[in-house]
Amino acid sequence: MEQYAISRTRTVDLTSCYSTRRWYQEPCKIKKHGFKGMLIATNVATLAIGWLVWGFFQASVSMNLSLLETKEDQATTINRMKNQITRFVEFQNSSPADVVHIGKTVADILSTAQGRQRAFLEEALPQAIRLQVQEGIPASAVVAMAVYESGYGQSTLAKEHHNYFGMKAFANWDGPVANDMPTKDSGVKTKADFRSYSSLYDGFYGFSNFLKASNRYEPAFKQSSGERFVQVVLKAGYCPDSTYLGNIRSIIQRHRLYDLETILSAGQNEKKPAEESAEKTTGI
């Protein structure tokens, strides 16, 4: 009976369980590699930071160079235009004060526009000033009317035919014609034939010739104010659009075109040295 009283004992082998469990901590990689590993890691980090700083420096230099080139381009454009305009007014015995005033006026006007609007003003200003000098049409009126009529030179009539003033080809016109161009007469959509020109220069002079061909516009050429010039032209029947004058007034104000009306009078009140010397000599 005793053999049944002895408890049955079962042995379980746990060796395999203990052998698969990690009973130690992995050493730090830097400690594992020692001083050499730390030196390599430090150099890599220094190089990465250096490249990052250099990248920012390069980007900053590129941005500053881009801004500088833009300013230089603008200065070149203004100087080129000033030289053109100066040649236009040489026969008017313009003084150095006139030239300085022209340059400042052009720069101030161009600063009021960007993109396509500025590009159009750059092309239109010299020709408008030429008309003011040679034909007696206020440049402020010429530029404002061209801007309004052509949408800063973006209308089809302007881009394809250099007609910036919506001049129609009536029976007395024997030049090139843009046929069946869409337009509006008193707010009603229709089609009409318009004058066509080969360049902006010809288009602007064509505008002067268009006005001078009719005696009814003659009183306008006595006006020195661009706004007043447009007002007289409209009164003579140039355009039935009731909002025309208001739009012209806004464009003149927006781009400071009224400054163009004084570009030839800047030096008139300033006596030249030769004149002052002559007055002293003669006792005038």
Please check whether residue 17 lies inside any domain of the structure: no
pLDDT given at position 278: 44
Higher pLDDT, 173 or 28: 173
pLDDT in tens, 254-265: 999 999 988 765
pLDDT given at position 118: 96
- Is the pLDDT score of 267 beyond 60? no
The 3-state secondary structure of the chain reads CHHHHCCCCCCCCCHHHHHHCCCCCCCCHHHHHHHHHHHHHHHHHHHHHHHHHHHHHHHHHHHHHHHHHHHHHHHHHHHHHHHHHHHHCHHHCCCHHHHHHHHHHHHHHHCCCCHHHHHHHHHHHHHHHHHHHHHCCCHHHHHHHHHHHHCCCCCHHHHHHCCCCCCECCCCCCCCEEEEEEEEECCEEEEEEEECCCCHHHHHHHHHHHHHCCHHHHHHHHCCCHHHHHHHHHHCCCCCCCCHHHHHHHHHHHCCHHHHHHCCCCCCCCCCHHHHHHHHHHCC
Question: What is the pTM for the complete model shown?
Answer: 0.65
Please check whether residue 5 lies inside any domain of the structure: no
Please check whether residue 215 lies inside any domain of the structure: yes
How many distinct structural domains can be found in the chain?
1
Please check whether residue 218 lies inside any domain of the structure: yes
Domain harbouring 156, CATH code: 1.10.530.10
Q: What is the mean pLDDT of residues 144-172?
A: 96
pLDDT in tens, 237-253: 999 888 999 999 999 99
Of 50, 122, 120, residue with least CA distance to 80: 122
pLDDT in tens, 12-68: 454 444 444 444 455 555 455 555 555 565 655 565 555 555 555 455 555 555 555
pLDDT given at position 268: 44
Residue % of the chain over a pLDDT of 70: 58
pLDDT in tens, 122-142: 999 999 999 998 899 999 999
Please check whether residue 30 lies inside any domain of the structure: no
Domain containing residue 98: 69-163+197-265
CA-CA-CA-CA torsion sign (200, 203, 204, 205): positive
Please check whether residue 246 lies inside any domain of the structure: yes
Please check whether residue 13 lies inside any domain of the structure: no
Please check whether residue 279 lies inside any domain of the structure: no
* Residue entry with tokens 């035919």: 161
- Is the pLDDT score of 217 beyond 90? yes
Long-range Cβ contact pairs of 71-80 (< 8 A, separation 24 or more): 74/110, 77/110, 77/122, 78/103, 78/106, 78/107, 78/110, 79/103
| Terminal Cα distance for the chain, rounded | 160
